[in-house]
């Protein structure tokens, strides 16, 4: 959903002025060489970071499946070698006497075998190796047979515990005894890749928590697999007397006080910077209410003789990786198409996005964007409603009562997704007074976000004046466009001059916000002069407009744009309609010229952020022997 941004060209034979003649040429070749070497290192580091993020995403999704078997009844664990009740009891008693576990090489071998079985390592290895099909990572993965290189277990973090809990059945002398145990530790994975010198090496992933339970109570295993794991799909459908709408969030509950109340948890793929609601989510969830909800759920649905409750054993700390989106109200799937210079609506939108208009035009442009949101939101609502239908109506997991409850609330939703929960434990207590705490593996709960839960904009005839959701949408759209123009340095284009550049840049991108991280203005043209770019093609222009050129300054602006403009969608690209993606522009005297041909170049210039998805059609005349050119890009 989030791709790189691109630009497009037009004119007869198109010129692209990248370098300002006013820049000094005093920089010697040694300066340029140093800069190029620095950029190569930056490119490699940037690519490696992207690879690591993809690896972590695969592992995260894989653990959501494999953790299904981390709470296990003894009857289903007969193939275990280390994870057996006899060995667990032996290890705990050994620890009491020696202050350490009995872990010789054979025991560690048994431990690793059982753990890899619970992690479904063969399946994980297959999923990781699919990254080799992505040509983007050829520099890192060429000739590497298997990305997975083993599990790195931190045995110093190992904790093993067990408890035998007895209960007397009501009105009977019979006593039942259940065995509960927990094995927990930290671990990570070794992942293969090539270093900068193309030599095989490996890296450690982040640490993960392995929380495994072996028990003799089938009710606990069933509660984990069929109740808690299903909260990913039905948390919003829990009866009001259990959940009291806790999973239905809005700006008021999260205390989002800005005019733009768009929910945004998204980081740049190239740098750890982006928009987030971490503080708001942490403040909302760290109040024990979720403990009470899951306690009620267990008590009413699990056939346990013991008393049972849920408890938070550490504070919540949500990050971008904690969230998965199932459905978002946006323009992502509803593209509109215009000609960039049609003299009508298309040209107006082109000027709003890619031209710095005079102040007196701002009011008119504001009206254009307001009308656009009012009209386009009809399509966005239809798309969002269809997504909700697929998730709710067509679900084979949800009960009819759960479906009806969710549908009765979702007219205000703008986001439907899941949150990862990794800090809950289940506490069971028998009538003998014995109590046991079982840490739960990570699981997901369903959540929704509305700008205002009382704004039923999906059902009502809504517009930017009577809907809090669409009002916030308009504000997010305006700042998404304006901040992009400042961050990339778009200047005013002279529309009266037929040879005026299609796009005009100041050459110095403005600081986006008063912050030391990006305080100074950035000279785009000076950087391009230093970098000595040798290949000017569509990919280069795309990278330039996506802040994705090999420069820390560029990539920081990408992350900072996402953060300040609060954009969870950021995609601008240039696409040839004639399959001429790989031709090179000719550089001459500070200009980039299209190769002269007997046909017109035809392109789509696509600009997509949260609430606009627009494609401008451009046809560029490229007749041989043309003597006057129109520049795509200039630094006036």
The CA–CA distances, whole Å, from 243 to 235, 237, 272, 405 equal 8, 9, 34, 12
pLDDT at position 505 over 80: no
Q: Among 33-37, 120-124, 393-397, 596-600, which is the least confidently predicted range? A: 33-37
Cα torsion angle, 511, 512, 513, 515, sign: negative
Question: Percent of the chain beyond pLDDT 70?
Answer: 77
The predicted pLDDT at position 71 comes to 95
The predicted pLDDT at position 525 comes to 59
DSSP 486-508: HHHTB----TT-TTS-SEEB-SE
Mean pLDDT of the chain: 82
pLDDT at position 185 over 60: yes
Q: Among 90-99, 204-213, 544-553, which is the least confidently predicted range? A: 544-553
The predicted pLDDT at position 465 comes to 96
State the average pLDDT over residues 26-33: 38
Residue among 585, 560, 313, 552 at smallest CA distance from 439: 313
pTM across the whole model: 0.85
The predicted pLDDT at position 244 comes to 92
* Higher-pLDDT residue of 531, 477: 477
The predicted pLDDT at position 443 comes to 94
* Higher-pLDDT residue of 501, 400: 400
Residue labelled with tokens 């990248």: 18
- The torsion angles phi and psi of 307, rounded to 5 degrees, stand at -75, 150
pLDDT at position 375 over 60: yes
State the average pLDDT over residues 455-464: 94
Measured CA angle at 474 (ends 472, 476), to 5 deg: 70
pLDDT at position 4 over 60: no
At 455, the pLDDT band (50, 70, 90 cuts) reads very high
Q: Among 102-106, 456-460, 528-532, which is the least confidently predicted range? A: 528-532
The predicted pLDDT at position 636 comes to 43
At 274, the pLDDT band (50, 70, 90 cuts) reads confident
Q: Among 381-390, 414-423, 589-598, 622-631, which is the least confidently predicted range? A: 622-631
> 322 and 421 in contact (C-beta within 8 Å)?
no
The predicted pLDDT at position 35 comes to 45
pLDDT at position 497 over 60: yes
The Cα 238–Cα 240 span in angstroms is 6
DSSP 8-state assignment for residue 546 = T
The predicted pLDDT at position 7 comes to 31
State the average pLDDT over residues 309-327: 88
């Amino acid at each position: 959903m989030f791709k790189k941004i691109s630009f497009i060209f037009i004119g007869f034979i198109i010129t692209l002025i990248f370098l300002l003649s006013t820049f000094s040429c005093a920089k010697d070749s040694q300066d340029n060489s140093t800069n190029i070497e620095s950029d190569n290192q930056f490119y490699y580091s940037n690519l490696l970071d992207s690879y690591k993020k993809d690896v972590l995403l695969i592992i995260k999704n894989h653990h959501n499946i494999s953790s299904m078997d981390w709470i296990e009844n003894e009857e289903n664990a007969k193939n275990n070698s280390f994870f057996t009740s006899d060995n667990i009891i032996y290890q705990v008693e050994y620890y009491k006497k020696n202050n350490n576990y009995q872990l010789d090489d054979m025991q560690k071998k048994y431990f690793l075998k059982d753990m890899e079985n619970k992690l479904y390592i063969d399946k994980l290895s297959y999923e990781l190796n699919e990254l080799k099909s992505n040509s983007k990572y050829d520099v890192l993965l060429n000739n590497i047979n298997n990305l997975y290189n083993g599990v790195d277990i931190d045995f110093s973090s190992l904790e093993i515990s067990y408890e035998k809990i007895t209960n007397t059945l009501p009105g009977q002398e019979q006593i039942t005894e259940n065995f509960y145990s927990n094995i927990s530790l930290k671990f990570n994975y070794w992942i293969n890749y090539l270093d900068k010198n193309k030599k095989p090496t490996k890296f450690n992933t982040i640490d993960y928590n392995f929380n495994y339970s072996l028990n003799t109570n089938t009710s606990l295993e069933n509660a984990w697999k069929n109740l808690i794991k299903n909260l990913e799909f039905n948390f919003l459908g829990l009866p009001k007397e259990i959940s009291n709408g806790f999973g239905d969030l809005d700006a008021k509950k999260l205390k989002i006080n800005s005019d733009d109340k768009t929910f945004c948890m998204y980081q740049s793929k190239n740098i750890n910077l982006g928009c987030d609601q971490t503080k708001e989510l942490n403040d909302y969830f760290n109040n024990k209410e979720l403990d009470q909800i899951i306690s009620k759920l267990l008590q009413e649905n699990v056939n346990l003789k013991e008393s049972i409750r849920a408890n938070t054993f550490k504070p919540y700390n949500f990050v971008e990786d904690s969230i998965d989106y199932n459905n978002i109200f946006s323009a992502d799937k509803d593209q509109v198409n215009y000609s960039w210079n049609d003299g009508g609506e298309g040209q107006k939108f082109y000027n709003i996005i890619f031209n710095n208009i005079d102040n007196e035009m701002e009011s008119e442009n504001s009206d254009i964007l307001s009308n656009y949101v009012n009209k386009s939101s009809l399509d966005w609502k239809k798309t969002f409603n269809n997504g909700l239908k697929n998730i709710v109506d067509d679900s084979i997991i949800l009960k009819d009562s759960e479906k009806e409850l969710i549908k009765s609330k979702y007219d205000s939703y703008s986001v439907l997704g899941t949150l990862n929960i990794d800090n809950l434990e289940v506490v069971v207590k028998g009538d003998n007074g014995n109590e046991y705490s079982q840490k739960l593996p990570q699981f997901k709960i369903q959540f929704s976000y509305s700008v205002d839960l009382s704004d039923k904009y999906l059902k009502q005839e809504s517009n930017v004046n009577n809907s809090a959701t669409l009002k916030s949408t308009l504000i997010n759209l305006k700042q998404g466009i304006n901040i992009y123009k400042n961050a990339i340095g778009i200047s005013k284009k002279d529309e009266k001059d037929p040879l005026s550049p299609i796009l005009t840049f100041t050459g110095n991108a403005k600081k986006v916000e008063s912050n030391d991280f990006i305080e100074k203005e950035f000279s785009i043209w000076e950087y391009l002069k230093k970098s000595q770019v040798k290949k000017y093609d569509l990919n280069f222009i795309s990278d330039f407009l996506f802040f994705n050129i090999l420069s820390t300054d560029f990539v920081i602006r990408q992350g900072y744009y996402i953060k300040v403009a609060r954009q969870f969608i950021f995609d601008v690209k240039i696409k040839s309609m004639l399959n001429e993606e790989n031709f090179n522009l000719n550089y001459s005297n500070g200009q980039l010229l299209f190769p002269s041909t007997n046909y017109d170049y035809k392109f789509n210039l696509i600009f997509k952020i949260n609430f606009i998805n627009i494609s401008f059609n451009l046809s560029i005349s490229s007749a041989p022997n043309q003597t006057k050119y129109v520049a795509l890009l200039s630094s006036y």
